[in-house]
Structure 1
Amino acid sequence: MKIGKEENPVKELSLALGAGVLAGIAGTAAITISQMIEMRITKRKPSTAPVKAVSKVLKLKPTRKDEKETVSQEIHWTYGTSWGIPRGLLAFAGVQSWPATLLHFAAIWATELTMLPSLDVAPPVTEEEPKAIAIDAFHHAVYAVAAGLVYDAITEKA
Protein backbone atom coordinates (compact mmCIF):
# COMPACT_ATOMS: atom_id res chain seq x y z
CA MET A 1 0.00 0.00 0.00
CA LYS A 2 1.27 3.43 -0.85
CA ILE A 3 0.62 6.33 1.51
CA GLY A 4 -2.38 8.30 0.29
CA LYS A 5 -4.37 5.25 -0.92
CA GLU A 6 -6.09 4.37 2.38
CA GLU A 7 -9.49 5.58 3.47
CA ASN A 8 -8.50 5.96 7.11
CA PRO A 9 -6.61 9.26 7.51
CA VAL A 10 -5.42 8.47 11.04
CA LYS A 11 -3.92 5.20 9.83
CA GLU A 12 -2.36 6.96 6.83
CA LEU A 13 -0.84 9.65 9.03
CA SER A 14 0.49 7.05 11.48
CA LEU A 15 2.09 5.06 8.67
CA ALA A 16 3.55 8.21 7.13
CA LEU A 17 5.06 9.37 10.43
CA GLY A 18 6.37 5.92 11.38
CA ALA A 19 7.94 5.41 7.98
CA GLY A 20 9.32 8.95 8.20
CA VAL A 21 11.07 8.22 11.49
CA LEU A 22 12.64 5.07 10.04
CA ALA A 23 13.67 7.01 6.94
CA GLY A 24 15.18 9.69 9.18
CA ILE A 25 17.28 7.06 10.95
CA ALA A 26 18.48 5.74 7.58
CA GLY A 27 19.24 9.26 6.34
CA THR A 28 21.18 10.02 9.51
CA ALA A 29 23.20 6.85 9.13
CA ALA A 30 23.96 7.78 5.52
CA ILE A 31 25.04 11.35 6.28
CA THR A 32 27.13 10.10 9.20
CA ILE A 33 29.02 7.70 6.93
CA SER A 34 29.37 10.40 4.27
CA GLN A 35 30.80 12.84 6.80
CA MET A 36 33.16 10.25 8.29
CA ILE A 37 34.57 9.47 4.83
CA GLU A 38 34.89 13.17 3.99
CA MET A 39 36.57 13.99 7.33
CA ARG A 40 39.07 11.20 6.79
CA ILE A 41 39.89 12.55 3.31
CA THR A 42 39.97 16.25 4.22
CA LYS A 43 41.34 15.79 7.76
CA ARG A 44 38.46 17.96 9.05
CA LYS A 45 37.54 17.64 12.71
CA PRO A 46 33.93 16.89 13.72
CA SER A 47 31.65 19.89 13.89
CA THR A 48 30.86 21.44 17.24
CA ALA A 49 27.88 23.36 15.82
CA PRO A 50 25.24 20.92 17.18
CA VAL A 51 26.48 21.28 20.78
CA LYS A 52 26.88 25.04 20.43
CA ALA A 53 23.38 25.43 18.97
CA VAL A 54 21.67 23.32 21.64
CA SER A 55 23.72 24.99 24.37
CA LYS A 56 22.47 28.39 23.20
CA VAL A 57 18.85 27.33 22.75
CA LEU A 58 18.52 25.33 25.98
CA LYS A 59 21.16 27.23 27.97
CA LEU A 60 22.90 23.95 28.85
CA LYS A 61 26.55 23.08 28.45
CA PRO A 62 28.46 19.81 28.69
CA THR A 63 31.19 20.19 31.28
CA ARG A 64 33.82 17.85 29.87
CA LYS A 65 35.29 17.61 26.37
CA ASP A 66 34.31 13.94 25.99
CA GLU A 67 30.74 14.94 26.92
CA LYS A 68 30.71 17.47 24.08
CA GLU A 69 31.46 14.74 21.54
CA THR A 70 28.81 12.42 23.01
CA VAL A 71 26.20 15.16 23.22
CA SER A 72 27.03 16.26 19.68
CA GLN A 73 26.39 12.73 18.38
CA GLU A 74 23.15 12.46 20.36
CA ILE A 75 21.96 15.76 18.91
CA HIS A 76 23.04 14.71 15.40
CA TRP A 77 21.05 11.47 15.59
CA THR A 78 18.00 13.02 17.24
CA TYR A 79 17.90 15.93 14.80
CA GLY A 80 18.44 13.73 11.76
CA THR A 81 15.86 11.18 12.86
CA SER A 82 13.30 13.90 13.51
CA TRP A 83 13.80 15.27 9.98
CA GLY A 84 12.24 12.04 8.73
CA ILE A 85 8.88 13.26 10.02
CA PRO A 86 8.57 16.04 7.39
CA ARG A 87 9.36 13.41 4.73
CA GLY A 88 6.35 11.45 5.96
CA LEU A 89 4.20 14.57 6.04
CA LEU A 90 5.13 15.34 2.44
CA ALA A 91 3.90 11.91 1.40
CA PHE A 92 0.77 12.29 3.52
CA ALA A 93 0.11 15.56 1.67
CA GLY A 94 0.44 13.72 -1.65
CA VAL A 95 4.02 14.65 -2.61
CA GLN A 96 5.78 11.38 -3.43
CA SER A 97 9.08 9.98 -4.62
CA TRP A 98 11.74 12.27 -6.13
CA PRO A 99 9.70 15.50 -5.82
CA ALA A 100 9.33 14.76 -2.08
CA THR A 101 13.04 14.00 -1.79
CA LEU A 102 13.93 17.28 -3.50
CA LEU A 103 11.60 19.30 -1.26
CA HIS A 104 12.92 17.44 1.78
CA PHE A 105 16.52 18.27 0.83
CA ALA A 106 15.62 21.93 0.26
CA ALA A 107 13.89 22.19 3.64
CA ILE A 108 16.73 20.50 5.54
CA TRP A 109 19.52 22.48 3.95
CA ALA A 110 17.68 25.82 4.04
CA THR A 111 17.00 25.27 7.74
CA GLU A 112 20.68 24.65 8.43
CA LEU A 113 21.77 27.63 6.34
CA THR A 114 19.48 29.95 8.29
CA MET A 115 19.40 28.41 11.78
CA LEU A 116 23.13 28.01 12.49
CA PRO A 117 24.09 31.57 11.48
CA SER A 118 21.09 32.96 13.40
CA LEU A 119 22.41 31.22 16.52
CA ASP A 120 25.89 32.55 15.73
CA VAL A 121 27.43 29.07 15.66
CA ALA A 122 28.34 29.09 11.97
CA PRO A 123 29.04 31.85 9.46
CA PRO A 124 26.42 32.78 6.87
CA VAL A 125 26.70 30.85 3.61
CA THR A 126 27.84 34.06 1.90
CA GLU A 127 31.01 33.93 4.04
CA GLU A 128 31.78 30.25 3.37
CA GLU A 129 34.23 28.92 0.81
CA PRO A 130 32.59 27.36 -2.28
CA LYS A 131 34.25 24.01 -1.51
CA ALA A 132 32.77 23.97 2.00
CA ILE A 133 29.32 24.85 0.64
CA ALA A 134 29.54 22.05 -1.93
CA ILE A 135 30.62 19.51 0.68
CA ASP A 136 27.80 20.56 3.00
CA ALA A 137 25.23 20.39 0.19
CA PHE A 138 26.53 16.96 -0.80
CA HIS A 139 26.17 15.59 2.74
CA HIS A 140 22.62 16.89 3.02
CA ALA A 141 21.79 15.45 -0.41
CA VAL A 142 23.10 12.08 0.78
CA TYR A 143 20.76 12.33 3.76
CA ALA A 144 17.72 13.30 1.67
CA VAL A 145 18.29 10.65 -1.01
CA ALA A 146 18.87 7.88 1.54
CA ALA A 147 15.83 8.93 3.57
CA GLY A 148 13.73 9.19 0.43
CA LEU A 149 14.74 5.78 -0.91
CA VAL A 150 14.08 4.12 2.45
CA TYR A 151 10.78 5.95 2.87
CA ASP A 152 9.61 4.94 -0.60
CA ALA A 153 10.73 1.34 -0.07
CA ILE A 154 8.86 1.09 3.24
CA THR A 155 5.63 2.63 2.02
CA GLU A 156 5.60 0.82 -1.33
CA LYS A 157 5.41 -2.51 0.51
CA ALA A 158 3.14 -1.39 3.36
Structure 2
Amino acid sequence: MSNSNNYKNPYYDPTKPTPNLMSKHSLPSAFLWGCAAGAIGVGIMTFGEKLEQAFTGRPNSYVPAHTLSNLLRLPPKPDSERLWLNHVMHYGQGALAGGIRGIMSAYGVVGFFADFMFTGVRLAIDQTLENVTEVGAPPWTWPLNEQIIDVFHKAVYAFATGYFADKFLH
Protein backbone atom coordinates (compact mmCIF):
# COMPACT_ATOMS: atom_id res chain seq x y z
CA MET A 1 0.00 0.00 0.00
CA SER A 2 1.43 3.37 -0.93
CA ASN A 3 1.89 6.10 1.58
CA SER A 4 -0.13 9.25 0.66
CA ASN A 5 2.71 11.40 2.03
CA ASN A 6 4.91 10.33 -0.89
CA TYR A 7 2.60 11.89 -3.49
CA LYS A 8 3.95 15.11 -4.99
CA ASN A 9 1.66 17.40 -6.91
CA PRO A 10 3.73 18.83 -9.79
CA TYR A 11 1.60 22.01 -9.84
CA TYR A 12 1.91 22.89 -6.18
CA ASP A 13 4.98 24.38 -4.55
CA PRO A 14 4.41 24.77 -0.79
CA THR A 15 7.33 27.22 -0.57
CA LYS A 16 5.51 29.79 -2.73
CA PRO A 17 2.36 31.62 -1.71
CA THR A 18 -0.71 31.10 -3.85
CA PRO A 19 -0.72 34.18 -6.13
CA ASN A 20 -4.43 34.93 -5.91
CA LEU A 21 -4.33 34.88 -2.09
CA MET A 22 -1.53 37.42 -1.86
CA SER A 23 -1.73 41.06 -2.84
CA LYS A 24 0.54 44.05 -2.57
CA HIS A 25 -2.59 46.05 -1.63
CA SER A 26 -4.48 45.94 1.63
CA LEU A 27 -8.22 45.26 1.51
CA PRO A 28 -9.09 48.91 2.23
CA SER A 29 -6.64 50.12 -0.41
CA ALA A 30 -7.98 47.68 -3.01
CA PHE A 31 -11.55 48.68 -2.11
CA LEU A 32 -10.79 52.41 -2.49
CA TRP A 33 -9.02 51.92 -5.83
CA GLY A 34 -12.04 49.91 -6.91
CA CYS A 35 -14.34 52.74 -5.80
CA ALA A 36 -12.37 55.12 -8.03
CA ALA A 37 -12.66 52.64 -10.91
CA GLY A 38 -16.38 52.30 -10.18
CA ALA A 39 -16.90 56.06 -10.34
CA ILE A 40 -15.19 56.10 -13.73
CA GLY A 41 -17.29 53.12 -14.80
CA VAL A 42 -20.50 54.96 -13.85
CA GLY A 43 -19.40 57.96 -15.88
CA ILE A 44 -18.78 55.79 -18.92
CA MET A 45 -22.07 53.92 -18.41
CA THR A 46 -23.97 57.22 -18.06
CA PHE A 47 -22.41 58.54 -21.27
CA GLY A 48 -23.51 55.35 -23.04
CA GLU A 49 -27.01 55.65 -21.57
CA LYS A 50 -27.31 59.22 -22.85
CA LEU A 51 -26.22 58.10 -26.33
CA GLU A 52 -28.71 55.24 -26.27
CA GLN A 53 -31.50 57.58 -25.08
CA ALA A 54 -30.75 60.00 -27.92
CA PHE A 55 -31.46 57.18 -30.39
CA THR A 56 -34.28 55.34 -28.62
CA GLY A 57 -36.11 58.25 -26.98
CA ARG A 58 -36.14 56.34 -23.69
CA PRO A 59 -36.77 58.77 -20.81
CA ASN A 60 -34.49 59.21 -17.79
CA SER A 61 -35.07 56.73 -15.00
CA TYR A 62 -35.66 58.02 -11.50
CA VAL A 63 -35.53 54.56 -9.95
CA PRO A 64 -32.18 55.32 -8.27
CA ALA A 65 -33.69 58.43 -6.66
CA HIS A 66 -36.76 56.54 -5.48
CA THR A 67 -34.56 53.74 -4.10
CA LEU A 68 -32.35 56.14 -2.12
CA SER A 69 -35.38 58.11 -0.99
CA ASN A 70 -36.96 54.94 0.39
CA LEU A 71 -33.69 53.79 1.99
CA LEU A 72 -33.39 57.16 3.77
CA ARG A 73 -37.15 57.29 4.48
CA LEU A 74 -37.47 60.70 2.85
CA PRO A 75 -40.91 62.14 2.15
CA PRO A 76 -42.27 61.67 -1.40
CA LYS A 77 -41.39 64.38 -3.95
CA PRO A 78 -41.93 64.74 -7.69
CA ASP A 79 -39.16 63.42 -9.94
CA SER A 80 -38.29 66.95 -11.00
CA GLU A 81 -37.06 67.55 -7.42
CA ARG A 82 -35.11 64.28 -7.19
CA LEU A 83 -32.31 64.87 -9.69
CA TRP A 84 -29.65 65.28 -7.01
CA LEU A 85 -30.85 62.08 -5.26
CA ASN A 86 -30.65 60.30 -8.61
CA HIS A 87 -27.02 61.36 -9.09
CA VAL A 88 -26.02 60.53 -5.50
CA MET A 89 -27.49 57.02 -5.75
CA HIS A 90 -26.32 56.40 -9.32
CA TYR A 91 -22.70 57.40 -8.71
CA GLY A 92 -22.52 56.34 -5.07
CA GLN A 93 -23.82 52.85 -5.70
CA GLY A 94 -21.55 52.44 -8.74
CA ALA A 95 -18.50 53.63 -6.81
CA LEU A 96 -19.20 51.37 -3.82
CA ALA A 97 -19.88 48.37 -6.08
CA GLY A 98 -16.57 49.15 -7.80
CA GLY A 99 -14.89 48.50 -4.46
CA ILE A 100 -15.83 44.85 -4.84
CA ARG A 101 -14.20 44.78 -8.29
CA GLY A 102 -11.10 46.41 -6.80
CA ILE A 103 -10.78 43.61 -4.26
CA MET A 104 -11.33 41.04 -7.01
CA SER A 105 -8.54 42.61 -9.04
CA ALA A 106 -6.10 42.93 -6.16
CA TYR A 107 -6.49 39.26 -5.33
CA GLY A 108 -6.07 37.95 -8.85
CA VAL A 109 -9.61 37.83 -10.25
CA VAL A 110 -8.95 39.92 -13.35
CA GLY A 111 -9.74 40.29 -17.02
CA PHE A 112 -12.71 39.45 -19.21
CA PHE A 113 -14.14 36.65 -17.08
CA ALA A 114 -13.91 38.79 -13.92
CA ASP A 115 -15.71 41.61 -15.73
CA PHE A 116 -18.38 39.18 -16.90
CA MET A 117 -18.89 37.92 -13.32
CA PHE A 118 -18.93 41.48 -12.02
CA THR A 119 -21.78 42.33 -14.41
CA GLY A 120 -23.89 39.85 -12.46
CA VAL A 121 -22.71 41.30 -9.14
CA ARG A 122 -23.71 44.80 -10.25
CA LEU A 123 -27.11 43.64 -11.46
CA ALA A 124 -27.67 41.76 -8.20
CA ILE A 125 -26.83 44.84 -6.10
CA ASP A 126 -29.18 46.98 -8.19
CA GLN A 127 -32.06 44.54 -8.05
CA THR A 128 -31.63 43.78 -4.36
CA LEU A 129 -31.78 47.45 -3.39
CA GLU A 130 -34.65 48.24 -5.76
CA ASN A 131 -36.75 45.30 -4.65
CA VAL A 132 -36.01 45.58 -0.92
CA THR A 133 -37.16 49.21 -1.05
CA GLU A 134 -40.22 48.16 -3.11
CA VAL A 135 -39.25 50.52 -5.93
CA GLY A 136 -38.49 48.00 -8.64
CA ALA A 137 -40.01 44.84 -9.99
CA PRO A 138 -38.09 41.60 -10.54
CA PRO A 139 -36.30 41.83 -13.91
CA TRP A 140 -38.01 38.73 -15.31
CA THR A 141 -41.28 40.69 -15.18
CA TRP A 142 -39.87 43.49 -17.36
CA PRO A 143 -40.37 43.72 -21.11
CA LEU A 144 -37.51 42.01 -22.94
CA ASN A 145 -36.19 45.24 -24.49
CA GLU A 146 -35.83 46.81 -21.01
CA GLN A 147 -33.96 43.73 -19.75
CA ILE A 148 -31.56 43.91 -22.70
CA ILE A 149 -30.95 47.63 -22.23
CA ASP A 150 -30.33 47.28 -18.48
CA VAL A 151 -27.98 44.31 -18.82
CA PHE A 152 -26.11 46.04 -21.66
CA HIS A 153 -25.53 49.23 -19.63
CA LYS A 154 -24.53 47.27 -16.51
CA ALA A 155 -22.08 45.30 -18.65
CA VAL A 156 -20.58 48.56 -19.96
CA TYR A 157 -20.21 49.68 -16.34
CA ALA A 158 -18.70 46.36 -15.24
CA PHE A 159 -16.18 46.14 -18.09
CA ALA A 160 -15.13 49.80 -17.74
CA THR A 161 -14.82 49.45 -13.96
CA GLY A 162 -12.87 46.22 -14.39
CA TYR A 163 -10.52 47.77 -16.91
CA PHE A 164 -9.62 50.61 -14.57
CA ALA A 165 -9.50 48.43 -11.44
CA ASP A 166 -7.07 46.09 -13.18
CA LYS A 167 -4.96 49.04 -14.39
CA PHE A 168 -4.92 50.74 -10.97
CA LEU A 169 -4.07 47.59 -9.01
CA HIS A 170 -1.53 45.89 -11.31
TM range (shorter): 0.7 to 0.9
* CA shift digits 1:74-129 (9 cap, x unpaired): 21111111111101122344322223212211111122234323422122222111
Q: Which residue of 2 aligns with 1:33?
A: 47
Greater RCO structure (CA 8 Å; 6+ sep): 1
Q: 1:71 to 1:115 in 2, by over 3 A?
A: closer
Taking the aligned partners of 1:47 and 1:53, their CA distance within structure 2 comes to: 11
Q: Which residue of 1 aligns with 2:75?
A: 61
**Structure 2 residue aligned with 1:107, among 121, 124, 127?**
121
> Which structure has the larger Rg over C-alpha atoms?
2
Q: Which residue of 2 aligns with 1:154?
A: 168
Structure 2: runs of 5+ lacking an equivalent? 1-20
Residue 135 of structure 2 aligns to a residue in which SS?
coil
Structure 1: runs of 5+ lacking an equivalent? none
Taking the aligned partners of 2:146 and 2:79, their CA distance within structure 1 comes to: 25
CA contact (8 A) 1:31 1:140 kept: yes
Q: How many percent identity over aligned positions? A: 27
CA contact (8 A) 1:27 1:146 kept: yes
Alignment pair present for 1:13 and 2:23: no
In the TM superposition, what is the alpha-carbon distance from 1:64 to its structure 2 partner?
6.0
TM-score by length of 2: 0.78
In the TM superposition, what is the alpha-carbon distance from 1:65 to its structure 2 partner?
4.7
CA contact (8 A) 1:28 1:143 kept: yes
Residue 145 of structure 2 aligns to a residue in which SS?
helix
**Bigger shift: residues 20-29 or 96-105:** 96-105
User: Which one-letter code corresponds to 1:67 in the other structure?
Assistant: E
Q: 1:4 to 1:117 in 2, by over 3 A?
A: same
Residue-pair matches, total: 151
CA contact (8 A) 1:62 1:68 kept: no
**Bigger shift: residues 138-147 or 54-63:** 54-63
* CA shift digits 1:7-63 (9 cap, x unpaired): xxxx43243123201111111101111111111111121111111111222111365
Root mean square deviation of aligned Cα: 2.3
TM-score by length of 1: 0.83
Residue 21 of structure 1 aligns to a residue in which SS?
helix
